[in-house]
Amino acid sequence: MNYEIERLSLHADGVARGPDGTVHVAMALPGEVVEGDVVDGRIAQPKIVTPSPERVKAPCPHYRSCGGCVMQHASEGFTAAWKMDAVRQALIARGLAVPEMTIATSPLQSRRRATFSGRRTKKGTLVGFHARASDTVVEIPNCLILRRELLSIVPMLHEATALAGSRKGEIAFAVTLSEAGLEIAASGGKDPDPAQFETLSGLARQYDLARLSWNAEVIAARRPAIQQFGKAQVVPPPGAFLQATHHGEAALVAFAKAAVGSAQHVADLFAGCGTFALPLAEQAEVHAVEGSAAMTDALDQGWRQAQGLHRVTTETRDLFRRPLLPDELAKFDAVVIDPPRAGAQAQVAEIASSPLPRLVHVSCNPVTFARDAETLLDAGFTLEKLLVVDQFRFSAHVELAALFTR
């Protein structure tokens, strides 16, 4: 039976109508006609009967097997338009007006952080990403997304997996490129015994890692794993959140700096280690609030050692349980928020009830962003500007930054 693809889901599957209801089709595009076996409402290996003019040959040899990318079969122009439309449709679904938007797309081979999976096998080890819709690990030596430095460390990850991995579970290797070289935060596997600890420390020296930690225990800290945030240098705790590419981070920070304008007192909520707070301190006093004490400590140290910044204060606070209240928000001319995928429902409700005149909302989830935007617009805010940022090339992941004023 043939199926015509009507649209893409939020996960980038093609969506078609079948005799028994909706059918999701992997690696399909709107307007295409496909055929294939439907299993649990999904066609995993479709045959493309009528291709879309937006269909292109996937540039990566791992695309069919690796689950890291889902959009390599679509043209760059289509993908950019689809990601902007995902934001547009999330707003329209709540009856909200959509401002003009632009998109900033990170180049290939620009991802500076990634989490590899390591697993022992009968024949040795596997290190890579998960296969599409599977827990099988696929090796990706020719990945087009990652910085070359990240791929260069895969031999070390094989050695570490052989040393401390198991055939029953996986090790997650969070690899990040810092100003001082690569750092690895491993989790899973066995806690290293003294002999394994020494061997892992030796691997850190052999592969010239800046830092290596395992299950939150630091194995080796050979150099400070510095990240540059504006004029400040910060050493985040192992495995701390970081924007995926320098390009994407620069686009988001530039938007935030322009959006807060001449504000003299700014709050940065869900501040992490200072991605926004420290560059904003070049033009305003900043109060940075974050739930992790290790992150706020790193931010504070970065500010204290920097030159030419306005005052930055930090506060460790769970903003989901204890959002800043209207009287606290009244101290600021502008606020920047960058919450996780769940959004900032409780904090946004307090912002809506406050006299705050200007808010920059950074989000990695158009659906929760639209929910928060509705609350703000109902409180008298206007959604003025919107920037979509594609740091995760060929994925369904969408990030954005928006300016609300009143």
Annotated binding site for S-adenosyl-L-methionine: 243, 270, 290, 338
Three-state DSSP at 298 gives helix
Three-state DSSP at 372 gives helix
Structure tokens at 217: 């225990």
- Binding-site residues, in ranges, read 243, 270, 290, 338
Cα 177 from Cα 159, distance rounded (Å): 20
Query: Which residues of 193-344 form beta strands (DSSP E)?
Result: 211-214, 217-221, 227-229, 232-234, 265-269, 285-290, 312-316, 334-337
Structure tokens at 58: 């996937």
Cα 79 from Cα 71, distance rounded (Å): 7
| 66, 69, 273, 364: the active-site residue | 364
Place of tokens 């900032």: 344
Tell me, yes or no, if 66 is annotated catalytic: no
Cα 290 from Cα 300, distance rounded (Å): 12
Evaluate whether 42 touches 25 at the Cβ level (below 8 Å): yes
Ramachandran angles phi, psi of 303, nearest 5°: -65, -45
Residues labelled catalytic: 364
